[in-house]
């Protein structure tokens, strides 16, 4: 199986390193970068991993040229949600008639955007609970193991998906198939809507949000609004008590620095539009007021707009 992983960020680097480390002679693993200079450097130095799986180095094949990889059996999209369409358009040389495209990105809407470029029948949705931090290009900290769930929006299971599950499990990525991936995607969005923007605004780790009454109150209100939207859209969430679940996630990932906080600390664009922004947009469409999510979006966008003023 030829596998192309798009995006050398934290998650893309971890997938590339683990799949390369455990690959058989029948598998070919590539990491696609949009930055040619960085691709050359990563191809030369490899990816250094530290953390829960020990300290080790993977010699990953990296390129900035999609045509150099060619048609792939599996494309794994690990770019930020706002780069989805551009990344897929640029990587069309990877897509053949039998190619599967798996998204393990944050937020809602990536499946649909990928489908517009590659064809909806090729897209597999994914949710992963892996904890990983990008320390610098080619160096990551594997903070916590977690499960990965994949599935088609129509609920169908294919031989291709079973092969992906087997491949991932063999590489130490605990993976299963769901016939309700939409429920998993929305369940993760509900959790992210509460945690991510508040950590980015307060600069607190996930667990610390629960130590401050004001932050805890806003977290619960943001989650309640997101759940209200999910219910109106008749999405079945994975847990009966979303508020208890999001607080349990805070405790289980107490020392983690959310991806949105990492983005803010590095003065990068966040994925607020694909997370809380989704809640706001559907709220407008459905006539449901979501004032806390609207405020969180406005505040994060203010931070993004002020990066240049802070230089």
Catalytic machinery residues:
188
Task: Locate 290 and state its tokens.
Answer: 């979501």
User: Pairing between strand 131-136 and 139-144?
Assistant: antiparallel
Cβ pair 276, 297 in contact under 8 A: yes
- Using DSSP's 3-state secondary structure scheme, residue 252 falls into helix
From the list 102, 111, 149, the residue with the least C-alpha distance to 130 is: 149
Q: At 129, phi and psi to the nearest 5?
A: -110, 25
Cβ pair 248, 82 in contact under 8 A: no
Q: Report the distance separating Cα 42 and Cα 59, nearest Å.
A: 9
Percent helix, strand, coil in the chain, to 5, is 50, 15, 30
Q: Report the distance separating Cα 271 and Cα 300, nearest Å.
A: 10
**Helix (H) / strand (E) containing 155:** none
Q: Which residue has the tokens 């990889």?
A: 69
Q: Report the distance separating Cα 191 and Cα 198, nearest Å.
A: 12
From the list 51, 113, 108, 102, the residue with the least C-alpha distance to 73 is: 102
Sign of CA dihedral 243, 244, 248, 254: positive
Q: Which residues pair with 125 in a beta bridge?
A: 103, 151
Q: How many helices (H) and strands (E) does the chain have?
A: 12, 12
């Amino acid at each position: 199986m030829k596998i192309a992983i798009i995006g050398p960020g934290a998650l893309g680097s971890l997938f590339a390193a683990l799949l390369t480390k455990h690959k058989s002679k029948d598998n070919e693993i590539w990491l696609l970068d949009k930055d040619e200079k960085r691709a050359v450097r990563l191809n030369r130095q490899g990816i250094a991993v530290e953390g829960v799986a020990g300290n080790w180095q993977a010699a990953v094949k990296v390129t900035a040229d999609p045509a150099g990889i060619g048609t792939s059996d599996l494309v794994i999209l690990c770019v930020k949600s706002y780069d989805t369409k551009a990344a897929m358009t640029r990587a069309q040389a990877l897509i053949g008639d039998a190619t599967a495209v798996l998204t393990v990105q944050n937020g809602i809407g990536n499946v649909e955007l990928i489908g517009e470029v590659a064809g909806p029948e090729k897209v597999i949705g994914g949710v992963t609970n892996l904890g990983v931090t990008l320390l610098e290009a080619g160096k990551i900290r594997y903070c916590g193991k977690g499960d990965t769930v994949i599935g088609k929006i129509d609920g169908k299971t294919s031989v291709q998906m079973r092969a992906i599950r087997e491949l991932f499990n063999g590489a130490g990525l605990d993976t299963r198939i769901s016939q309700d991936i939409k429920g998993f995607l929305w369940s993760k969005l509900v959790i992210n809507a509460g945690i991510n923007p508040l950590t980015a605004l307060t600069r607190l780790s996930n667990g610390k949000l629960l130590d401050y009454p004001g932050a805890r109150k806003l977290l619960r209100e943001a989650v309640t609004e997101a759940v209200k939207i999910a219910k109106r859209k008749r999405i079945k969430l994975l847990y009966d008590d979303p508020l208890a679940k999001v607080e349990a996630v805070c405790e289980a990932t107490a020392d983690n620095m959310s991806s949105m906080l990492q983005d803010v600390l590095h003065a990068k664009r966040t994925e607020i539009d694909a997370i809380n922004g989704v809640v706001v947009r559907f709220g407008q469409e459905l006539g449901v007021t979501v004032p806390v999510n609207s405020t969180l979006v406005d505040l994060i966008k203010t931070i993004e707009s002020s990066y240049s003023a802070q230089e």
